[in-house]
Structure 1
Amino acid sequence: MKPTILDVAKHAGVSKATVSRVINNNPKVNNEIRERVYAAIEELGYHPSAIARSLASSTSSTLGLILPDITNPYFPVLARGIEDAAHRLGYTLFISNTDNDPKIEQEYIQKMVHQQVGGIILISSILGEDKVNELQELQIPFVLCDRLIQGSPFDTVSIDNYKASYEAVTRLIEQGHTRICHLAGPSLVQSAEMRKQAYSDAMHEHGLESFVRIGSFTYEAGYQLMDSILAETKPSAVFAANDLIALGAMNAIHNRGLNVPGDIAVVGCDDILFAQMSNPTLSTISVPAYQIGVTAVELLVERMRGVKTSEARNVVVEHKFIQRESMNGEDPRT
């Protein structure tokens, strides 16, 4: 049975009227009582219907953005696109960083709902069917970026991760590489899984053996994974699930006394600024993060303002392959 406002009042040791005043941000409620009520709401998992009604009528002028890792250079660009679009449309943006922790992610979602944000743009650390059902119960508009789930009822914005990754691996194969390893992102992240699947399919379809190592979307993971591989064998090329992993791998290669691209070619994904500044410069899949952010806000605000469609809108923005110095030879498609 779902908790009621009376359950919250009993749990917090206050009246129903006090709970209602807290939910509606009445300034006359003192901070100690306000915190007690918020704690009770979170502990019981209560979703106030008053908030749902205010959100449905789009009375809020604030949006929420929940990011998995603000230190990853990809996400500040995406956040800037979201912030610029929100400002242009007259909304204030609240940004929260989860450090890829599902518990922290859930806490921020609840806090944003309690603060009556009009809608949330979510880049989830873990997004499964149970999580989607929980989000639906909140009765608040969500837009999902980058990390998606099949059959989701929410609007989404992303590149075609499978197509982009398949293209990147195929380019390496066309340049004569047969020993290509993949440094993958976290297994529970959908974009990482799609990139890994595309790599495996491209290798299989060309009669080549797959070689996958799984880690986090970090520079440190790229270095450690690559260094452990080089302790055992030497691939001719690396396809990394993002640019931070690729840059870490390149440093590990150099520290082993090998050359990029002469000994090992490296390709990343995202086209963060550091990809253009590395030595050699990094070949990568360019993901239009700013455009993804702008599009996400436009979809979210439309939902907040009452746009109704029978199905979720899945917007796929175009990626671009950028060949730089970390790949051997001439681009076979130019």
Structure 2
Amino acid sequence: MNPTIHDVARLANTSKSTVSRFLNGQPVKKETEQALKNAIKELNYHRNVNARRLVMHKTQTIGIVVDDISNYFYTPVFKGIERIAKEKGHHCIFYSLTSNISEEVSSLDFLYEGQVDGLIFVSFLKRKEEDLKKMAESGYPIVLVGHAGSLEEIDSVDVDNVYGISEMVKYLYRLGHRQIAYISGPDHLSATKDRLEGYEQTMAEFNLDIMVTHSDWSNESGYLAMNQLFEMGDFTAIISSNDETAIGALKAIQERGYQVPIDFSLTGFDDIAISSWTYPALTTIRQPFEAMGIKAAEILFNKIEKKQFSSERHLLKPKLVLRDSCRKI
């Protein structure tokens, strides 16, 4: 038979309640802690998770639903979530749309079936309004990271993309730039619309002409978009809506014999690792990914612990990172 908590208590010469406290992460005397560790190791004791769930009516597990688990932008988000989950004594289980499930909304079954205590949906893709409505109406602890549409009845955490691009326009304006071009992103990503809005609104505030071309946020498309801008008119600065696009644009500028920032100032968005290693190093916007994960997990556990009942929507401010790709004119 498998060893029980009674066996551990007997071998460690302590009480069952002390063993239980120790297993739940509560402090015990130092000598008792060592005796319990020795007993657990000697007996090869493992907790009966199913019995624990029956007693507590909790799985001690939260689910993280992600559209593509290989997306490196999500890693710090996961880190933030896991940090809070660990503090709360919960495990994280990941569900990827590329393997486990067909679409985000179908993962609600994990809640209905009692497999997890709550779900965090992580995606920077645009979500369908009908899917968001189903999530909001489920009545279970759910938090979205990324796009939440126009729905106010669901908890969400995202980056304030409008603010991020607006800050970049204002920075270039302070440097003396009045002809600022913009390379936008793909329509299927939720940030594209907000970043373009930040550019257009702030340019309008300064009564500046708008010049926009588009990319799919790849190096290649940034290269092509930059060549399109050269055919569109005059400019002294270019804001790329992500760093990959900016790196492609940088190549196109250099191939034409121009230099950044002497001839053109160039910026990105995201602050990916390579952005500090380009020549010149790229001025960009750093997204608070880990803070997003922390905030999403805090909201989720407030829901699980019934400390929060109304919905919350949080837009976290990104940070302007100044490097060498811009100059005053």
Asked if TM exceeds 0.5, the reply is yes
Work out whether residues 105 and 131 of structure 2, in 8 Å CA contact, stay in contact via their aligned partners in 1. no
Are 1:154 and 2:154 counterparts?
yes
What residue number does 1:215 align with? 215
Report how many residues are paired: 272
What residue number does 1:91 align with? 90
Are 1:301 and 2:296 counterparts?
no
In 2, the alpha carbon distance for the partners of 1:276 and 1:249 equals 16
What residue number does 1:49 align with? none
* % identity of equivalent residues: 27
Work out whether residues 176 and 328 of structure 2, in 8 Å CA contact, stay in contact via their aligned partners in 1. no
- Give the Å deviation of 1:325: 0.6
What residue number does 2:30 align with? none
What is the DSSP-based 3-state SS (H/G/I as helix, E as strand, rest coil) of the residue aligned with 2:86?
A: helix
What is the DSSP-based 3-state SS (H/G/I as helix, E as strand, rest coil) of the residue aligned with 1:123?
A: strand
In 1, the alpha carbon distance for the partners of 2:174 and 2:128 equals 36
- Give the Å deviation of 1:206: 1.8
Change (3 A) 1:329 1:68: farther
Are 1:284 and 2:284 counterparts?
yes
Are 1:327 and 2:322 counterparts?
no
Change (3 A) 1:249 1:194: same
In 2, the alpha carbon distance for the partners of 1:228 and 1:164 equals 24
Work out whether residues 226 and 253 of structure 2, in 8 Å CA contact, stay in contact via their aligned partners in 1. yes
Work out whether residues 110 and 116 of structure 2, in 8 Å CA contact, stay in contact via their aligned partners in 1. yes
Change (3 A) 1:131 1:89: same
> What code does the residue aligned with 1:135 have?
M
- Give the Å deviation of 1:300: 0.9
In structure 2, stretches of 5+ residues that fail to align are 1-52
In 1, the alpha carbon distance for the partners of 2:110 and 2:230 equals 46
Matches within 5 A, 1:258-269: 258-269=258-269
What residue number does 1:243 align with? 243
Matches within 5 A, 1:63-102: 63-98=62-97
Work out whether residues 73 and 272 of structure 1, in 8 Å CA contact, stay in contact via their aligned partners in 2. no
What residue number does 1:224 align with? 224
> What code does the residue aligned with 2:129 have?
E
> What code does the residue aligned with 2:91 have?
T
Q: CA RMSD in A?
A: 2.9
In structure 1, stretches of 5+ residues that fail to align are 1-53
In 2, the alpha carbon distance for the partners of 1:71 and 1:224 equals 26
What residue number does 1:191 align with? 191
In 2, the alpha carbon distance for the partners of 1:205 and 1:326 equals 24
Change (3 A) 1:237 1:186: same
When normalised by structure 2's length, the TM-score is 0.72
In 2, the alpha carbon distance for the partners of 1:218 and 1:71 equals 16
Larger Rg: 2
In 1, the alpha carbon distance for the partners of 2:232 and 2:128 equals 36
Deviation larger for 290-299 or 186-195 = 186-195
Deviation larger for 287-296 or 71-80 = 71-80
Change (3 A) 1:128 1:220: same
Matches within 5 A, 1:97-112: 97-98=96-97, 104-106=102-104, 109=107, 112=110
Q: For residues 280-329 of structure 1, what are the alpha-carbon distances to aligned partners after superposition, in whole Å with 9 as ceiling and x for unaligned? A: 111112222111111111111211222333x3112333332111111113
Change (3 A) 1:69 1:204: farther
Matches within 5 A, 1:29-68: 59-68=58-67
Are 1:116 and 2:115 counterparts?
yes
Q: For residues 79-115 of structure 1, what are the alpha-carbon distances to aligned partners after superposition, in whole Å with 9 as ceiling and x for unaligned? A: 222223323322222334547xxx9433763564457
Work out whether residues 285 and 319 of structure 2, in 8 Å CA contact, stay in contact via their aligned partners in 1. yes
